[in-house]
């Protein structure tokens, strides 16, 4: 079995992107230099992403594909068949990373069962790595105990300047678990923040680049989404933006525990 690739620092998020919109977004993203794409079964866009990749001409070996198992497929009997269906739609024999999208509501499916199914999927070569998403400290601790140290490739969670999730971040770092930040731009809300506008102006950058650079500087992977080619290209430039310690401190002060992804039927008891 080949050594799993490190999770790229920068990728394309595809939440809420459907049909021709997601095809165009993926095509444009690949064209301007993205090589990581994040999707999920519940997004309903895996087939379109598979089509866009196939038509792009970019070799599969150069791409890092992530998908997420929905909550109704977390059981032993459902997980691997559902992942195989995702692979069929994505037109690939293996994804690079498979995540538990949300903890099983009401713990209907024991975490041990899901992690064992993911480990089996990995053994079968269906996924190179597996991890979790929207896991709290308690759930992450349980996952590490069940799967073993080093088995959880990432915890994909909401992190933005307005929700900095420091307790979870510190715990994950202590455990050596990589973090992927989603909704880093808080649906665009942070782009109107005066502090960020000021920092952006000082660096000759955009507020979005500043926020993404802030997340990257902390070692998080980011997966911003956009339907506009110019924004996709602009966001990617965040990789080259170096913020000062004063910039980082100013952004740290923006934390207000404002969570946007908090579905009542799915959300765990957040830290």
Q: Which pair of structure tokens corresponds to residue 65?
A: 């594909």
Task: Report the pLDDT value the prediction gives residue 165, as an integer from 0 to 100.
Answer: 97
Task: Report the pLDDT value the prediction gives residue 1, as an integer from 0 to 100.
Answer: 41
Q: How many Å apart are CA 260 and CA 263, to the nearest integer?
A: 9
16-26 tens-digit pLDDT: 999 999 999 99
Q: How many Å apart are CA 146 and CA 251, to the nearest integer?
A: 36
**What is the band of 5 on the pLDDT scale with cuts at 50, 70, 90?**
confident
30-64 tens-digit pLDDT: 999 999 999 999 999 999 999 999 999 999 999 99
102-154 tens-digit pLDDT: 999 999 999 999 999 999 999 999 999 999 999 999 999 999 999 998 999 99
Residues at the annotated binding site?
Answer: 101
Residues belonging to the active site:
43
Q: Is 8 left (phi over 0), alpha (psi -120 to 50) or beta?
A: beta
For the stretch 189-196, contacts whose Cβ atoms lie closer than 8 Å and that sit 24 or more positions apart, written own/partner, are 189/162, 189/260, 190/160, 190/161, 190/162, 190/254, 193/161, 193/254, 195/250, 195/251, 195/253, 195/254, 196/161, 196/251, 196/254
For residue 180, list its beta bridge partners: 156, 221
Give me the architecture of the 12-187 domain, per CATH: Alpha-Beta Barrel (3.20)
Task: Report the pLDDT value the prediction gives residue 156, as an integer from 0 to 100.
Answer: 98
**What is the band of 14 on the pLDDT scale with cuts at 50, 70, 90?**
very high
Burial bucket for residue 114 (CB in 10 Å: 0-12, 13-18, 19+): buried
Report the percentage of the chain scoring pLDDT > 90.
98
CA count, 13 A, side-chain hemisphere, 62: 11
Burial bucket for residue 113 (CB in 10 Å: 0-12, 13-18, 19+): middle
Q: Which pair of structure tokens corresponds to residue 189?
A: 């809300």
Residues at the annotated binding site for substrate?
Answer: 101
Mean pLDDT for the stretch of residues 174-194: 97
């Amino acid at each position: 079995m080949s050594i799993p690739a490190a999770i790229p620092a920068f990728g394309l998020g595809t939440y809420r992107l459907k049909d021709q919109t997601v095809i165009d977004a993926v095509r444009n993203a690949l064209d301007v230099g993205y090589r990581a794409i994040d999707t999920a079964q519940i997004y309903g866009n895996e087939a379109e992403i598979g089509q866009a990749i196939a038509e792009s001409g970019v070799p599969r070996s150069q791409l890092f594909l992530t998908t997420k198992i929905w909550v109704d497929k977390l059981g032993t009997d459902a997980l691997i068949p559902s992942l195989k269906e995702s692979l069929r739609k994505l037109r690939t024999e293996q994804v690079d990373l498979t995540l538990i999208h949300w903890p099983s509501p009401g713990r209907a499916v024991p975490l041990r069962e899901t992690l064992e199914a993911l480990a089996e999927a990995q053994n079968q070569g269906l996924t190179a790595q597996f991890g979790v998403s929207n896991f709290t400290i308690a759930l992450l601790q349980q996952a590490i105990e069940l799967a073993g140290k080093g088995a959880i490739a990432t915890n994909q969670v909401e992190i933005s300047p307005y929700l900095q999730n420091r307790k979870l971040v510190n715990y994950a770092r202590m455990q050596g678990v990589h973090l992927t930040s989603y909704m880093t731009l808080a649906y665009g809300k942070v782009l109107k923040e005066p502090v960020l506008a000021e920092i952006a102006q000082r660096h000759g950058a955009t507020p979005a680049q500043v926020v993404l650079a802030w997340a990257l500087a902390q070692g998080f992977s980011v997966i911003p989404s956009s339907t506009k080619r110019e924004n996709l290209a602009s966001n990617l430039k965040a990789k080259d933006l170096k913020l000062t310690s004063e910039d980082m401190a100013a952004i740290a002060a923006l934390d207000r525990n404002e969570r946007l992804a908090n579905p009542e039927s799915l959300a765990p008891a957040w830290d």
